[in-house]
């Protein structure tokens, strides 16, 4: 820690908000109420609340506009749920009893400095290790936060540290907003394109809704091959031999959630090499559309495209177009389709080949299929670009958070605008 920084207890440098005696809830018809679900992760500010009749509020934590709201219950605390609340009518409100409200002391401390200090993973781990209560319902006691020792530079340096982190956090939030808006655009465009096409044609009514007159309605089972589980893991181990030279992925449902696998399966937890003969018998080729076929995973509605020869575990099913429909067009159309609509209900929901074969899908010309795929590929590329930018900024934030809070990087002599973290 830099030589001229102090060390102080949080409770000495910050105030923990308490309700003034003169405020009587019953004097107000409605009061802003903040439940835990409204406390964000990864955002500095939140202005989200619900107006609740004062007569319906039996418990809660008094908060004031501008307070840091820190979640104290597991796993919300460990996950980083906290915000600076803004826009409260009358300047105050009520939050869940699982919230700790903290405010700065004017002229002494910066709430933004403490806000970012508490986001450090090692600090969270330290505090979480001292939680109290029964397993699964453990909480951070208020006294633990009050007694937490924190580095304490001058107010000016606190504000400059906070200003740097605030600007990076703002940049992250901009990327998140762009990604969310682009995903909304994709969703609405999917609906529009698969209803109206791209050529401005008249529409006709079909069993799946309106679609352009020149499009055909075809059954998946007639133009695609459908396969589910292709090999057991015992067979997989036995299938390796000296002539195993073809790389394959052994794909599980969990592999669909790996970073980078949002559209294409570019990686899997199990990679193996098999002989050409076994691959031709057991594997599905690249550009097959896959999705879950069993259990709660069906409701996630995830669809992916394979990129190399792949083996499927028993919880996945694959569709391989062989005529009239391109794989990418089929993938994008399937993004509009609810898998739960064809599942067999029972103790364990599932869907099988017999459920997929009768599905009717729209079929435009090859050229229009290609144009449609190009549109959505461009949207996906924009989402990917901003996802990479977001990830890069998040890495920068973590690095700067550590280096600024330990004084490894000093900003006290830099000309930094602190107006955004001085309000």
Q: pTM for the complete prediction?
A: 0.86
- The domain boundary, picked from 337, 363, 389, lies at 363
CATH number at residue 91: 3.90.220.20
52-61, 367-376, 406-415 — which one is most confidently predicted on average?
A: 367-376
- Is the confidence at residue 17, as pLDDT, over 80? yes
Mark which of 105, 132, 152 sits at the end of a domain. 152
Closest CA to 5 of 114, 117, 152, 113: 152
Residues 359, 220 share a domain: yes
pLDDT of amino acid 402: 95
**Residues 26, 118 share a domain:** yes
The torsion angles phi and psi of 418, rounded to 5 degrees, stand at: -110, 15
Residues 132, 223 within the same domain: no
Domain-embedded: residue 392: no
* Separation of alpha carbons 215 and 279, rounded Å: 36
Last residue of some domain: 363, 383, 401?
363
How high is the pLDDT of residue 228? 83
**243 and 110 belong to one structural domain:** no
Q: Are residues 353 and 236 in the same domain?
A: yes
| pLDDT confidence of residue 237 | 62
Do both 26 and 145 map to the same domain?
yes
| 30-57 pLDDT per residue, tens | 999 999 999 999 999 999 999 999 999 8
Query: Around 295, how many Cα atoms within 13 Å sit in the side-chain half-sphere?
Result: 7
Q: Is residue 17 part of a domain?
A: yes
Beta strands at 211-212 and 271-274: parallel, antiparallel or unpaired? unpaired
| Stretch 316-343: mean pLDDT | 95
Q: pLDDT > 90: what percent of the chain?
A: 85
Supply the pLDDT for residue 346: 80
- Non-local (6+) Cβ contacts of 64 within 8 A are 17, 88, 91, 92, 93, 101, 103
| 130 and 244 co-located in one domain | no
Q: Is residue 103 part of a domain?
A: yes
Residue 325 lies in a domain: yes
Q: Are residues 355 and 256 in the same domain?
A: yes
Does residue 398 lie in a domain region? no
Residue 237, classified by CB atoms within 10 Å of its CB into exposed (0-12), middle (13-18) or buried (19+), is exposed
The answer to whether residues 10 and 147 belong to one domain is: yes
Question: Is residue 222 domain-shared with residue 356, that is, in the same domain?
Answer: yes
Instruction: Please check whether residue 47 lies inside any domain of the structure.
Output: yes
Q: Based on the domain organization, do 18 and 144 belong to the same domain?
A: yes
Quick one: 124 and 256 in the same domain? Answer: no
Predicted confidence band at 236 (pLDDT cuts at 50, 70, 90)?
Answer: low
**What pLDDT digit, counting tens, does each position of 296-322 carry?**
999 999 999 999 999 998 899 999 999
- The predicted structure's pLDDT at residue 246: 87
pLDDT digits (tens, 9 = 90+) for 187-221: 999 999 999 999 999 999 999 999 999 999 999 99
In a domain, 348, yes or no: yes
Structural domain boundaries, residue 314: 216-363
Q: How confident is the model at residue 95 (pLDDT cuts 50, 70, 90)?
A: very high
**Cα gap 382→184, rounded to integer Å:** 13
- pLDDT value, residue 136: 75
- Does 134 have pLDDT greater than 90? no
Tens digit of pLDDT for each residue in 152-179? 999 999 999 999 999 999 999 999 999 9
Q: How many domains does the chain have?
A: 2
C-alpha span between 69 and 109 (Å, rounded): 16
């Amino acid at each position: 820690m830099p030589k001229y920084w102090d060390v102080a207890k949080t409770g000495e440098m910050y105030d923990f908000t308490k309700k003034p005696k003169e405020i009587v809830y019953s004097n107000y018809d409605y009061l802003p109420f903040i439940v835990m679900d409204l406390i964000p992760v990864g955002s500095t500010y939140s202005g989200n609340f619900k107006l609740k009749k004062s007569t319906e509020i039996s418990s809660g934590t008094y908060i004031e506009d501008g307070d840091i709201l820190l979640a104290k219950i597991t796993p919300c605390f460990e996950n980083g749920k906290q915000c600076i609340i803004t826009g409260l009518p009358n300047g105050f409100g009520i939050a869940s009893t699982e919230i700790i409200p903290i405010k700065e002391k004017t002229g002494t401390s910066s709430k933004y400095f403490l806000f970012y200090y508490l986001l450090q993973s090692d600090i969270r781990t330290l505090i979480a290790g001292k939680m109290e209560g029964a397993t699964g319902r453990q909480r951070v006691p208020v006294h633990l936060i009050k007694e937490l020792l924190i580095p304490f530079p001058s107010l000016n340096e606190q504000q400059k540290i906070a200003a740097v982190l605030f600007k990076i956090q703002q940049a992250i939030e901009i990327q998140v907003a762009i990604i969310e808006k682009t995903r909304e655009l994709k969703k609405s465009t999917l609906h529009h394109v698969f209803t109206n096409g791209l050529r401005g044609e008249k529409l006709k009514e079909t069993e799946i809704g309106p679609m352009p007159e020149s499009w055909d309605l075809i059954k998946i089972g007639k133009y695609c091959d459908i396969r589910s589980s292709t090999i057991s893991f015992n067979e997989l181990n036995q299938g390796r031999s000296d002539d195993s030279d073809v790389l394959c992925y052994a794909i599980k449902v969990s592999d669909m959630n790996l970073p980078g696998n949002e559209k294409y399966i570019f990686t899997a937890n199990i990679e193996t090499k098999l002989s050409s003969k076994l691959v031709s018998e057991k594997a599905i080729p690249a550009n097959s559309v896959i999705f879950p076929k069993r259990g709660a995973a069906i409701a996630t509605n995830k669809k992916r495209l394979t990129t190399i020869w792949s083996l499927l575990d028993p919880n996945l099913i694959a569709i391989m177009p062989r005529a009239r429909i391109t794989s990418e067009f089929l993938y994008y159309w399937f993004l509009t389709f609810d898998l739960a609509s064809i599942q067999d209900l029972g103790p364990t929901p599932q869907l099988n080949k017999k459920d997929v074969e009768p599905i009717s899908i729209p079929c435009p010309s090859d050229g229009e299929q290609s144009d449609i795929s190009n549109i959505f590929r461009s949207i996906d590329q924009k989402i990917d670009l901003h996802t990479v930018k977001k990830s890069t900024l998040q890495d920068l934030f973590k690095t700067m958070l550590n280096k600024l809070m330990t004084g490894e990087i000093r900003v006290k002599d830099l000309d930094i605008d602190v107006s955004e973290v001085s309000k």
